[in-house]
């Protein structure tokens, strides 16, 4: 197809998508059965609108009834305060009452007040309508946004129906904002952000609320979503500094198992704990976040680890730690919401005293530099969704910064491991292996190795899958630092929408992704690398008593006595794909993370 045909096809595809949302669920709407799952009316739908796979209990929980009664009492106070919002008395009471929790029925009004949406809307009349019009004519993100809308909060009653009213609103908000803030365009984490706002706001309010969260001085999420993710990198480094100071043993535990903070904290920073803590607690965090800004995210990340430190240190592999933090705590946080918020408030004070409550003002590359609401003419590659072959300088810089941060933790642990092995060898007279093995790199390495199979889902997907989408930030070897980079501007094709990425198992699958360099953002991915192979020799002492043998006569298991010395022939020769590390990676006696190309085994 020539360029004119490709542009015409892209325009027809965009118009078809917009027409579906415009038509909604009226008679004759094109809705695939798999896109519109049916559900029983009598499923348990909680007070926040989420549908659960269990039926409502016939008995009223006494604690829940008590909480509801307390909230009703607070409603009266909040209604009175809303009438005199700007008075000095209301401002004095605001902090205390928000930390106690905003009544759910009043969140729409209070959130709009906290974000000052009324003023913003009055200063920008007609802008939202104009952005939706331009999106229909020029959006290069329509296909990706359509895919993410079909995945976002599908267990929630207002997003359950395909092309339902709230799905229409979510699509409109995201496509319009991608036009309004062309520097960010669309990044997949934004669907979760706008999705929560639309639970409590109408379209235009959610549009301007999204803009305030991205560009307001207290929040500045712009740097989280723009090319290179500069703010995400900075906040991860700050999070690690807090762990080093207040929980060094836990940080060492994470380093030992190769657990970079990006693997468990992505949705903490990216979408303010959506799908990482129970939704009732998530709303309480959002209440405080809208009041006090981004320092709340830093403190809450520390609070989660502090509350669950004992349980986390009992887990001895990366998979189980990530699964606990991402999945188990989402289902059952083990503490009631009031207790968590009280701990959060104490944590904020503790970090303030240590001057670690905030990572500092935004850097220059985190601040919006393009004018808002100005149409940026898309390139041919953006229009047709053609992926560029090279990565930007910002993407490679981000990769190098995070790689360096990983290397520092790994090198420190490597040094400590060598010193401890020498100490043990001197005291016990055991030579052990010829090489000192580095246990700090675990299954996260396989996230990079599995990039050739399948494809991946977006940040908007289920609570189990999201962190793998940015896990390329972590556990990158030195040889990969110059060959891998972060693709922050890819547009996943429809053929790759059903991607699979498993964080719980530490495995990420990636595949066909189309790239749009300036206006469309997606989760980063690693590019293939092909380092020159090394050949290393590993001398492995073994005891025949560890491996039972079967008697040929009757099948009984017999054991041999251990030899007094190990012969020269007791060796394994292995060719590995890793040109930087002179040793294999071993944990619990298992050799991991390399592909055997050729082997010669002679065990006598």
User: What confidence score (pLDDT) does residue 60 get?
Assistant: 64
Model confidence pLDDT, tens digit, residues 310-323:
999 999 999 999 99
Model confidence pLDDT, tens digit, residues 197-221:
999 999 999 999 999 999 999 999 9
502 phi, psi to nearest 5 deg: -110, 115
51 phi, psi to nearest 5 deg: -95, 130
Alpha helices in 203-257 (DSSP H): 203-215, 222-225, 230-246, 248-256
- Identify the bridge partners of residue 590 per DSSP, sorted by sequence position: 587
Of 130, 139, 129, nearest to 11 by C-alpha is 139
Check if the beta carbon of residue 107 is closer than 8 Å to that of residue 198: no
Q: How many CB atoms lie within 10 A of CB 312?
A: 20
User: What confidence score (pLDDT) does residue 458 get?
Assistant: 36
Q: In the structure, what pLDDT confidence band is assigned to residue 518 with cuts at 50, 70 and 90? A: very low
Pairing between strand 51-55 and 43-45?
A: antiparallel
Report domain extents, the chain.
Answer: 66-100, 108-223, 230-365+387-394
Between 455 and 314, name the one with better pLDDT.
Answer: 314
User: What confidence score (pLDDT) does residue 11 get?
Assistant: 86
Q: Which helix (H) or strand (E) holds 490?
A: strand 490-491
Question: What does the mean pLDDT of the chain come to?
Answer: 73
| Tokens representing residue 125 in the block | 């009349």
Residues with Cβ within 8 Å of residue 146, at least 6 apart in sequence = 17, 171
Residue with token string 């995201």: 174
User: What confidence score (pLDDT) does residue 184 get?
Assistant: 94
- Read off the pTM: 0.66
Q: In the structure, what pLDDT confidence band is assigned to residue 10 with cuts at 50, 70 and 90? A: confident
- Whether the pLDDT of residue 34 is over 60: the answer is yes
User: What confidence score (pLDDT) does residue 298 get?
Assistant: 96
User: What confidence score (pLDDT) does residue 565 get?
Assistant: 52
| Tokens representing residue 513 in the block | 């992704």
The CATH fold assigned to 108-223 is: Helicase, Ruva Protein; domain 3 (1.10.8)
Of 299, 326, 291, 292, nearest to 312 by C-alpha is 326
Model confidence pLDDT, tens digit, residues 53-73:
666 565 667 777 777 788 888
Check if the beta carbon of residue 340 is closer than 8 Å to that of residue 281: yes
Q: In the structure, what pLDDT confidence band is assigned to residue 525 with cuts at 50, 70 and 90? A: very low
Between 337 and 406, name the one with better pLDDT.
Answer: 337
Highest mean pLDDT among 43-52, 387-396, 449-458, 526-535 belongs to: 43-52
Listed as own residue / partner, the contacts of 289-294 with beta carbons closer than 8 Å and 24 or more positions apart are: 289/219, 290/111, 290/114, 290/115, 291/94, 291/95, 291/98, 291/114, 292/218, 292/348, 293/217, 293/218, 293/219, 294/218, 294/219, 294/220, 294/358
Average confidence (pLDDT) over 443-458: 31
Q: What residue ranges in 77-158 does DSSP mark as E strands?
A: none
Tell me the C-alpha distance between 445 and 576, whole Å: 14
Question: How many Å is the Cα radius of gyration of the chain?
Answer: 27
% the chain with pLDDT above 90? 47
230-365+387-394: which CATH architecture?
Answer: Orthogonal Bundle (1.10)
- Identify the bridge partners of residue 55 per DSSP, sorted by sequence position: 43
Q: Three-class SS of residue 55?
A: strand
User: What confidence score (pLDDT) does residue 485 get?
Assistant: 33
| Tokens representing residue 256 in the block | 């030992």
Cα angle 271, 273, 278; round to 5: 135
Between 338 and 399, name the one with better pLDDT.
Answer: 338
């Amino acid at each position: 197809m020539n360029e004119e045909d490709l542009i015409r096809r892209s325009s027809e595809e965009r118009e078809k998508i917009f027409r579906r949302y415009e038509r909604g669920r009226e008679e004759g709407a094109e809705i695939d059965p798999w896109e519109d799952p049916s559900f029983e009316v009598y499923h348990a739908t909680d007070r926040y609108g989420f549908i659960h796979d269990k039926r409502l209990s016939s008995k009223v929980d006494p604690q829940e009834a008590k909480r509801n009664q307390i909230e009703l009492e607070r409603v009266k106070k909040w209604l009175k305060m809303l009438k005199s919002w700007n008075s000095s008395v209301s401002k004095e009471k605001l902090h205390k009452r928000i930390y106690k929790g905003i009544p759910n029925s009043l969140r729409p009004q209070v959130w709009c007040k906290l974000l000052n949406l009324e003023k913003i809307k009055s200063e920008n009349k007609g802008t939202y309508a104009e952005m939706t019009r331009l999106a229909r004519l020029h959006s290069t993100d329509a296909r990706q946004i359509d895919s993410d809308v079909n995945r976002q909060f599908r267990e929630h009653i207002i997003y359950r129906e395909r092309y339902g009213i709230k799905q229409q609103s979510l699509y409109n908000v995201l496509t319009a904002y991608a036009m309004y803030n062309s520097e960010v365009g669309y990044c997949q984490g934004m669907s979760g952000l706008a999705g929560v706002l639309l639970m409590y706001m109408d379209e235009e309010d959610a549009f301007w609320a999204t803009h305030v969260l991205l560009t307001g001085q207290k929040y500045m999420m712009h740097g989280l979503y723009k090319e290179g993710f500069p703010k995400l990198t900075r906040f991860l480094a700050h999070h690690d500094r807090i762990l080093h100071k207040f929980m060094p043993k836990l940080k060492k535990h994470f380093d030992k198992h190769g657990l970079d903070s990006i693997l468990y904290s992505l949705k903490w920073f990216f979408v303010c704990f959506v799908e990482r803590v129970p939704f009732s607690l998530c709303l309480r965090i959002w209440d405080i976040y809208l009041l006090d800004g981004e320092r709340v995210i830093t403190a809450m990340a520390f609070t989660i680890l502090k509350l669950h430190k004992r349980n986390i240190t009992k887990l001895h592999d990366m998979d189980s730690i990530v699964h606990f933090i991402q999945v188990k705590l989402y289902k059952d946080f083990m503490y009631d919401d009031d207790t968590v918020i009280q701990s959060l408030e104490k944590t904020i004070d503790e970090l303030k005293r240590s001057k670690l409550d905030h990572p500092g003002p935004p850097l220059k590359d985190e601040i919006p530099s393009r004018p808002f609401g100005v149409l940026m003419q898309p390139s041919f590659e953006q229009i047709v969704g053609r992926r560029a072959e090279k990565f930007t300088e910002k993407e490679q810089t981000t990769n190098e910064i995070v790689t360096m941060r990983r290397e520092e933790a790994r090198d420190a642990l490597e040094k400590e491991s060598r010193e401890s092995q020498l100490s043990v060898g001197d005291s016990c007279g055991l030579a052990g292996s010829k090489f000192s093995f580095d246990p700090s790199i675990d299954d996260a390495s396989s996230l990079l190795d599995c990039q050739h199979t399948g494809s991946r889902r977006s940040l908007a997907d289920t609570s189990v899958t999201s962190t793998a989408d940015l896990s390329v930030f972590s556990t990158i070897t030195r040889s990969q630092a110059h060959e891998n980079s972060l693709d922050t501007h890819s547009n996943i094709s429809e053929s790759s929408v059903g991607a699979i990425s498993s964080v719980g198992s530490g495995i990420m699958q990636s595949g066909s992704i189309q790239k749009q360099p300036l206006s469309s953002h997606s989760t980063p991915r690693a590019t293939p690398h092909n380092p020159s192979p090394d050949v290393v020799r590993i001398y492995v002492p073994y005891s025949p008593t560890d491996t039972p043998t079967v008697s040929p006569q009757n099948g009984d298991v017999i054991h041999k006595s251990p030899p007094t010395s190990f012969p020269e022939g007791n060796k394994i020769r292995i060719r590995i794909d890793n040109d930087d590390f002179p040793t294999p990676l071993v944990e619990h006696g298992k050799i991991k993370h390399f592909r055997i190309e050729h082997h010669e085994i002679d065990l006598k």
